[in-house]
A and B are shown apart, each in its own frame.
Chain A
Amino acid sequence: MNETALKELLYKLADDKLIIGHRNSEWTGMGPLLEEDIAFSSMAQDKIGQSYALYQMLQGLGEQDPDIVAFMRNADQFHNCIFAELPNGEYDFSLMRHFLFDTAEAIRFDMLTRSAYSPLAELSIKIRAELRYHTLHANTWIKKLGTATEESITRLQTALNEALPYALGIFEESPYEEEIKDSGLFEGEKLLLERWMEQVEQILKDTHLKLPDWSNLKPVTGGRVGRHSEHLQPLLDEMSEVFRSDPGAEW
């Protein structure tokens, strides 16, 4: 097995979860409804917990301690997609990102239950079950607000148009894509993208939201190779402020 390819895959999975988890946690105390506040906080806790399990797997492969990896790297060492790091914006954008991102994650971790690397396959069975609650939550709200009032539909449509090019950046291929597929670690971004498009179309069919022609969209990429937007470094600085001040502290 190509260990470099495996590590690259694990970093990508973990970084996506850590970063989106921190964005979700920013809704704590800020949600439009107490119910949504609890939901985003809970999903944040799931995702950050899942990122740690993946960082621990990396530690087993000789990488550094999960806290060091989470808090001491700079933006250009992170492999998350740019979509995950974008600021929350209004609730419409957060909800739309939650839907588009989590739909991809749920399919990704379903595919990963068949990974040739058994610790990852085993963990993915668990993560897949937890993610069900995230996608069901997203689908419920997209369907509710995507059919409610003219205003809510217009707002969600704007969020969808804004989010889609970034969402396509989720599927930016790894520099080791061929090795990853050949060794059976993961079936690859292309297949994931196909399944994601089908699922997104399926859910949006029950709303008044319109998908643009996929071929007219230009994916925003770079995140997977450490080229991020201006939004990631400030987020990392904030996340690590406490940790960097006293890296030896027991929490």
Chain B
Amino acid sequence: MLTQKQILAWLEEVKDPEIPVLSLVDLGIINTVEVNDNQVKIEITPTFVGCPALEVMRQDIKDTLLKHGARSVEVEVNYKQPWTSDRLSERGREALRQFGLAPPPKGKVLVEDLEVLENVPCPRCGSTRTGLKNPFGPTLCRSIHYCMDCREAFEQFKPV
């Protein structure tokens, strides 16, 4: 008999397709997991409404759980508990840093001013002598910054 705990452990294997070091659990997009007689029902919520990776994630969840022996897997996408960048786990934030992406500042999910994107600690050297280059980056969830100590650009997983 499968348990919710077991399912969550398996979901650790499913990674964000854009950031392959970050699991969907640490990303914080899994809202609920229900198991009934090895049939699994999961509710997820996207990081961005227009996230192009959503379908891939939904399929990866299904494939992974079926491979481990779930009898059926249903994945529902909704906004009942909308995602915010504060839902990234500590482990997830560390994974982002390792990947070279600055994690988002905490408690800044409804951005009032682009100031919050200034002086983001550089994921390479830790310096805060950094500046915002563009609040829009190569993917919806990233902004572009410049480190004056490394003299190189870096990206941040932006607060939202």
Assembled-state Cα–Cα distance A232/B59 (Å): 36
Are B48 and A39 touching (Cβ within 8 A)?
no
Assign chain B's interface to a size class. Answer: 20 to 34
Stretch of B12-20, B35-43, B62-70, B74-82 that contacts chain A: B74-82
Per-residue 0/1 for A110-135: is the Cβ within 8 Å of any B Cβ (1 yes, 0 no)? Answer: 00000000010011011111101100
Are B50 and A35 touching (Cβ within 8 A)?
no
List of B residues within 8 angstroms of A47 by Cβ: 50
Assembled-state Cα–Cα distance A130/B110 (Å): 8
Known contacts A122-B82, A133-B111, A136-B113: A46-B137 contact under CB 8 Å: no
Are B136 and A38 touching (Cβ within 8 A)?
yes
List of B residues within 8 angstroms of A126 by Cβ: 49, 79, 82-83
Are B48 and A46 touching (Cβ within 8 A)?
yes
Is B7's beta carbon under 8 Å from chain A? no
Is B160's beta carbon under 8 Å from chain A? yes
Is B51's beta carbon under 8 Å from chain A? yes
Q: With both chains docked as a complex, state the minimum distance between the C-beta of A4 and any C-beta of chain B, in angstroms.
A: 24
Assign chain A's interface to a size class. Answer: 20 to 34
Known contacts A39-B134, A133-B160: A45-B140 contact under CB 8 Å: yes
Known contacts A122-B82, A130-B160: A136-B135 contact under CB 8 Å: yes
Are B135 and A137 touching (Cβ within 8 A)?
yes
Is A147's beta carbon under 8 Å from chain B? no
Assembled-state Cα–Cα distance A38/B142 (Å): 12
Are A123 and B48 touching (Cβ within 8 A)?
no
Is A174's beta carbon under 8 Å from chain B? no
B137 is contacted by which of A38, A49, A52 (Cβ under 8 Å)?
Answer: A38
Are A129 and B110 touching (Cβ within 8 A)?
yes
Q: Which of B84, B109, B138, B140 has the most CB of A within 10 A?
A: B140
List of A residues within 8 angstroms of B134 by Cβ: 35, 38-39
Q: With both chains docked as a complex, state the minimum distance between the C-beta of B138 and any C-beta of chain A, in angstroms.
A: 8
Q: Which of B49, B83, B112 has the most CB of A within 10 A?
A: B49
Are A46 and B140 touching (Cβ within 8 A)?
yes
Are A132 and B110 touching (Cβ within 8 A)?
yes
Q: With both chains docked as a complex, state the minimum distance between the C-beta of A60 and any C-beta of chain B, in angstroms.
A: 10
Are A49 and B51 touching (Cβ within 8 A)?
yes
Q: With both chains docked as a complex, state the minimum distance between the C-beta of B72 and any C-beta of chain A, in angstroms.
A: 22
Are B79 and A123 touching (Cβ within 8 A)?
yes
Give residues of chain A (208-242) contacting chain B, Cβ–Cβ below 8 Å: none
Q: With both chains docked as a complex, state the minimum distance between the C-beta of B7 and any C-beta of chain A, in angstroms.
A: 24
Assembled-state Cα–Cα distance A39/B138 (Å): 10
Is A9's beta carbon under 8 Å from chain B? no
Is B114's beta carbon under 8 Å from chain A? yes
Is B124's beta carbon under 8 Å from chain A? no
Known contacts A39-B136, A42-B136: A125-B82 contact under CB 8 Å: yes
Is B133's beta carbon under 8 Å from chain A? yes
Give residues of chain B (102-160) contacting chain A, Cβ–Cβ below 8 Å: 109-114, 133-138, 140, 158, 160
Are B50 and A49 touching (Cβ within 8 A)?
yes
Assembled-state Cα–Cα distance A162/B110 (Å): 32
List of A residues within 8 angstroms of B50 by Cβ: 45-50, 52
List of A residues within 8 angstroms of B138 by Cβ: 38
Q: With both chains docked as a complex, state the minimum distance between the C-beta of A218 and any C-beta of chain B, in angstroms.
A: 35
Are B48 and A49 touching (Cβ within 8 A)?
yes
Assembled-state Cα–Cα distance A127/B83 (Å): 11
Per-residue 0/1 for A9-47: is the Cβ within 8 Å of any B Cβ (1 yes, 0 no)? Answer: 000000000000000000000000001001101110111
Q: Which residues of B contact A (CB under 8 A)?
A: 48-52, 78-80, 82-84, 109-114, 133-138, 140, 158, 160
Closest 4 CB pairs of A and B: A49-B50, A42-B136, A122-B79, A126-B82
Having A46-B48, A129-B84, one finds 7 other A-B pairs with CB under 8 Å, namely A38-B134, A42-B136, A53-B79, A119-B78, A129-B82, A133-B111, A133-B135
